Structure 1
């Protein structure tokens, strides 16, 4: 027995040596910042770059809208490469975090990215508005001590479809049942199912030819209607020439939906939107013209600043898009909303963009919490809830 024990002990030394050798290679392969001779100023430049932020953008008085020097965007930690993560998990090593390849440039290990045309001069862009936009869209202003992950699924080992929910006593629904509006379900009801299990009445909305298979109540406390959120009441027809078929979409604005559901004076405890880039017009031309947000406790939205992802964008169009995005965020803040969670969306091939020396993610999941919510009336139903949900499709 003693000989067998010593024999196994010698065999175990091999994986231990391999483990420490891999660990040594992992530490020795970390990228090192290498500055060119033109801008090499040692560790002082590195410390100065790390201290730069979007809080105090250095805008010159002589040329308004331009920056003294490029800004290094460090709000978002770039994700590690999938191969490195797979290697680390195989040998039980710490998950690596990518660092910047260059002093001023894109983070390493990110998906493919798009750039604004190289011919565009930074002085043609309203840099002051751009800096304000990136700051307000990424800076956390509300500290939530208990953020719950509701729903979601895993696609290629990357979570997708989940929404964050702040369960702090000060902003969570005071009583149950609560009301949840979920626009843009797609084919993933995991979030709606989770909020129904939390004790909320969930009203989910989406529509295309693939949604006909879903019932009115796919899960307990979840009510599904075949309509889309729009800025006004509209019936749109899609013609498929290949299949020789047509499909009609019914769009309703949020205030019209709430009126039919008898929620016109009630609180919306959680409003979730994933409408693939239509959020800017829906808010600007519909929701902001009502008092719904004043009665909304939390807003989970996936923002799509897709104008930054287009190539060869004229400066006038880009400045118009910056103003449109900025009006949306300023409208939320004016109604008492504060950013509680910001998570860039890297699954899309758009990745990140660099505009005027600022690198940021144009697509992101965000959670906004209303700190000045106005208490509304509890809804009263004379008939079952599904009776009112059926009226939405008429």
Structure 2
């Protein structure tokens, strides 16, 4: 029988046993994570090798990478239930550290455009890697971000936008112009920017937006229109309610002309138009000089093509090319990525294409480092007079 001294008896108490058990669980969890990461790498390598044998991707023929491209899975934020359980039993609080998961492996090829010499059975991995890099790599260091708006839905924050308030990129106090396009029914960002001192022009429309007047909040001006490639009237027919609803689409340059902003700066442009951003930019906005006069662009990107099942390689390459042209267009006009935040939508938030795993939906903030100074707007009548003109 082993005798324990009187001063060591407290080590055999129940809390001490629980503490030792927690330490053992942590050690086993870390070892499991290491094995899991190695398993992911092995899985990606096997997948790439299998596709090469089937003729889907031949890395040697295409001149791509001589090793498996691994873009690690970005874990979703910790669930509230997991945090509550950890606190109850004094376990480590689970957190999501995106800093260690947003980078691509070292040694990736430099930026390149989509190659037009691929067959119908090959995926352009080089263009895909470029797309992932350009959408996730921070190229502008913002010292101070200001979080504007947002709400909590099912214990998850949503709708907030990051705003860089560094001295050399922040908009002047007066005049300050904000365009908020695609607000849904969340005016929290618009209200916050109005309190900041900006004139906010908000745009969206559906059968429920008739509840909102022209001035829902101080310095916020709301128009019942949608952003489009051209001026267009569209009709929605509801057979269940036996009703019809008409939508008016206007391009951005037309909106700015009516509001007397055709030569002014947009200090902050917020866009969330649910996947229509690609066509609107390529067929309308990129054909104007609006972005050259825009200081900051906050946009929610929707690369929804990657979430479609059984998509042919040709269609995938077309989607990659379309998305890549969008981001290249921003860079050509002086924009640099200042903030990137994955937007998780259940299991569909993360996609795997050609062995590369990434998020197809994300919040981004782009800062224009070569912004061209415009002239302040001149209103001969109250602002709301011009806002009301947009609806006709």
TM-score (norm 1): 0.81
The CA deviation string for residues 288-309 of structure 1, in whole angstroms up to 9 with x for no partner, is 0000000000000000000000
**Matched residue SS, 1:80:** coil
Structure 2 residue runs without a partner (length 5+): 1-9, 46-56, 98-118
Residues matched between the structures, number:
346
**Matched residue SS, 2:380:** coil
Matched, 1:205 2:203: yes
Structure 1 residue runs without a partner (length 5+): 1-9, 50-58, 100-120
- For 1:147, the equivalent position in structure 2 comes to 145
Q: Tell me if structure 1 keeps the 8 A contact 2:80–2:155.
A: no
Spell out the pairing of 1:61-210 with structure 2 (5 A cutoff): 62-64=60-62, 66-74=64-72, 76=74, 78-91=76-89, 93-97=91-95, 124-210=122-208
Distance 1:14 1:223, change over 3 A: farther
The CA deviation string for residues 171-207 of structure 1, in whole angstroms up to 9 with x for no partner, is 1003323000001110100000000011000000000
Distance 1:236 1:349, change over 3 A: farther
Q: Provide the C-alpha distance between the structure 1 equivalents of 2:60 and 2:269, rounded to a whole number of angstroms.
A: 44
| Aligned-residue offset at 1:67 | 3.2
- For 2:48, the equivalent position in structure 1 comes to none
Q: Provide the C-alpha distance between the structure 1 equivalents of 2:198 and 2:90, rounded to a whole number of angstroms.
A: 40
The CA deviation string for residues 86-121 of structure 1, in whole angstroms up to 9 with x for no partner, is 32344565432479xxxxxxxxxxxxxxxxxxxxx9
Q: Tell me if structure 2 keeps the 8 A contact 1:65–1:123.
A: no
2:345 to 330, 344, 347: 347
| Aligned-residue offset at 1:16 | 7.8
- For 1:386, the equivalent position in structure 2 comes to 384
Distance 1:155 1:26, change over 3 A: farther
Larger mean Cα displacement after TM superposition, 211-220 or 284-293: 211-220
- For 2:370, the equivalent position in structure 1 comes to 372
**Matched residue SS, 2:152:** strand
Q: Provide the C-alpha distance between the structure 1 equivalents of 2:23 and 2:188, rounded to a whole number of angstroms.
A: 39
Larger mean Cα displacement after TM superposition, 204-213 or 174-183: 174-183
Root mean square deviation of aligned Cα: 2.9
TM-score (norm 2): 0.81
Distance 1:83 1:23, change over 3 A: farther
| Aligned-residue offset at 1:128 | 0.9
Q: Provide the C-alpha distance between the structure 2 equivalents of 1:159 and 1:201, rounded to a whole number of angstroms.
A: 25
Task: From the two aligned structures, give the one with the greater helix fraction.
Answer: 2
- For 2:221, the equivalent position in structure 1 comes to 223
**Matched residue SS, 2:278:** helix
